[in-house]
Amino acid sequence: MFVNSKSEKLKESPDSLRPQGWDNYIGQERIKKHLRIIIEAAKRRNETPDHILFYGPPGLGKTTISHIIAQETGSNLRSTTGPVIEKSGDLVALLTNLNEGDILFIDECHRINRFVEEYLYSAMEDFKINLILGKGPMAKTIDIKIPHFTLIGATTRIDMISSPLRSRFGSILQLNYYSQEEIERIIERSAQILGIKITKEAKSQIAKRSRFTPRIANKLLKRVRDFSQVEDDEESIDEKIAVKALEFLEVDNLGLEPSDRKIIETIINKFNGGPAGLQALSAATSEEKNAILEIYEPYLMQMGLIKRTNKGRAATKLAYEHLNLKWKNKEG
């Protein structure tokens, strides 16, 4: 049975699949309820919502939720990333150009320069910037008032956020991986927006391999659609086409891609199943340490394919079974 689709396809854009409100945002129910209370309470007090920090693996909706908060509060959203804010002048320019009630969204906020970060403290607490002009005995401090605003930070590495910055957020919320059923609903919604006909079975196949992540689910849906149109000359997607396309993309039934399998295979073959230190694993796989930490490791641990020990990463029995390798029981 095919899922209904819109008769007219929408032009694709980066925001074409982004939910525009809570009603069409699927998943993260606990966080949505928390944020609705924060927003409603701020409205009743005629104040800006308190500063919010989101953390969790990439692709789970941190940016999307920030857009919805701006929509719900009727605020203007200003977006930037931590690495872009290199000098104090960059941050001061950002803050002094805000309007009353604006939302400043900083992605990868764990990568803000620590010296620059200090200017955020007074801005978040007192809505002013303390600038030091000159050096030595002639130095003087001036305070620049800025409009009341809400800072929304997003990070994949909560452990790298300094304590002084973390303590200034009123709410710290963790986004978790989605359920199979939630991902299927997201794929169904995206298929409707894109005008794609897809069976329930095909939807399930894509969802199983999406790493429980909406961004990946939408990416795979588009790539399966492309494969279907070019290789099979089909305007609709059934289970057979979906599996064929996903195998072509080298995405296995757990959602692992070649890079994921390479990490597991390296731990097993080069480090005798582990433990393998992060630096050694990075060198052996030619993958950046941050990529292993932020992209691959969270999902591999979530799926129980690798585990962390005091000495490094080790492959689990499930990893051996998934790769059809004989389990090496080191515990005897």
Residues 45 and 119 in one domain: yes
Q: Would you state the pLDDT for residue 130?
A: 81
Confidence of residue 115 (pLDDT cuts 50, 70, 90): confident
Point out the catalytic residue in the list 215, 225, 261, 313. Answer: 215
Give yes or no for a contact between 182 and 31, defined as CB atoms under 8 angstroms apart.
no
Residues 51 and 66 in one domain: yes
CATH number of the domain that residue 206 is part of = 1.10.8.60
User: Which residue, of 157, 174, 191, is where some domain finishes?
Assistant: 174
Residues 209 and 263 in one domain: no
Percent of the chain with pLDDT over 70: 91
Q: Would you state the pLDDT for residue 326?
A: 84
Count Cβ atoms within 10 A of the Cβ of residue 315 and give its class: 0-12 exposed, 13-18 middle, 19 or more buried: buried
Question: Mean of the pLDDT values across residues 178-187?
Answer: 96
Domain, as residue range, for 62: 28-174
Q: Would you state the pLDDT for residue 138?
A: 65
Point out the catalytic residue in the list 156, 199, 213, 316. Answer: 156
Tell me, yes or no, whether 330 lies in a domain.
no
Point out the catalytic residue in the list 107, 208, 238, 260. Answer: 107
Residues 40 and 141 in one domain: yes
In the residue annotation, 62 being an active-site residue is answered as: yes
Point out the catalytic residue in the list 48, 63, 199, 213. Answer: 63
Tell me, yes or no, whether 22 lies in a domain.
no
Q: Would you state the pLDDT for residue 8?
A: 38
- 262 pLDDT exceeds 90? yes
Residues 79 and 129 in one domain: yes
Q: Would you state the pLDDT for residue 105?
A: 96
Question: Mean of the pLDDT values across residues 34-55?
Answer: 95
Residues 161 and 186 in one domain: no
In the residue annotation, 156 being an active-site residue is answered as: yes
Tell me, yes or no, whether 35 lies in a domain.
yes
Question: Mean of the pLDDT values across residues 128-133?
Answer: 79
In the residue annotation, 63 being an active-site residue is answered as: yes
Question: Mean of the pLDDT values across residues 4-24?
Answer: 62
CATH number of the domain that residue 286 is part of = 1.10.10.10
Confidence of residue 149 (pLDDT cuts 50, 70, 90): very high
Domain count, the chain: 3
Strands (E), the chain: 52-55, 77-81, 103-107, 128-133, 140-145, 150-155, 171-174, 197-198, 236-237, 306-309, 312-315
Residues 33 and 170 in one domain: yes
CATH number of the domain that residue 59 is part of = 3.40.50.300
Residues 54 and 119 in one domain: yes
User: Which residue, of 218, 248, 278, is where some domain finishes?
Assistant: 248
Point out the catalytic residue in the list 62, 189, 209, 211. Answer: 62
Confidence of residue 68 (pLDDT cuts 50, 70, 90): very high
